[in-house]
Structure 1
């Protein structure tokens, strides 16, 4: 995905596929400790999520297909994206990730749960 690419021109399915691809790239970059790349991917993934959110009916629900995905970063990102849409299912997915002890995603998941419980994080 190029920086200047018009996400609005992509179908929701194309965005979902790119979401998965970029999350896998982010996982690999984390594994190689490429912090700059990880951070750049965060913004690209966020842009995809916001494009889905802006579509009629809030299309982030399409990312639920990644609950239980073999890549823990894909699972975590999809669960985060769905907290505002299907809180119970997304929270269960985040709890499962926290319980997995698969780092660093389990740490992120655990902090997400703490922040949700303390009212610090309010999904939109």
Structure 2
């Protein structure tokens, strides 16, 4: 997946690709496959950057994934929409943080803490 190939995709296709990547990240985490997870992280970043680049910052469409059945997809959709839907994204992060037994709940708590102490400022 290249930046140029992402430019050719519709917003709906990018949202679908983002969800696919998130689900694959979930599996990579379960398998403790850090190399694969990192590759997927980079791919997700490219998708998010492409959405942001589009007129009107189309990352807002990632909010469609707030109710996704995969917790990793919900977490990443919230993180990537903090700049465009701050209140709604925080609610999703709080919901994920309230769960136990998943690495995603720790990630969500860490992000909420970083937002609170302003060590992370969404762009």
Is the TM value for this pair above 0.5? yes
Moved beyond 4 Å, runs of 4+: none
Structure 1 unaligned residues grouped into runs of 5+:
none
Matched, 1:81 2:80: yes
Q: Which residue of 2 aligns with 1:38?
A: 37
Q: TM-score, normalised by structure 2?
A: 0.96
Give 1:103 deviation, angstroms.
1.1
**Matching of residues 67-106 of structure 1 within 5 Å:** 67-106=66-105
C-alpha distance in 2 between matches for 1:12 and 1:102: 33
Give the paired residue count.
123
Structure 2 unaligned residues grouped into runs of 5+:
none
Q: CA RMSD in A?
A: 1.1
Q: Is the 8 A contact 2:3 2:50 kept in 1?
A: no
Q: Which residue of 2 aligns with 1:11?
A: 10
Give 1:109 deviation, angstroms.
0.2
C-alpha distance in 2 between matches for 1:123 and 1:59: 15
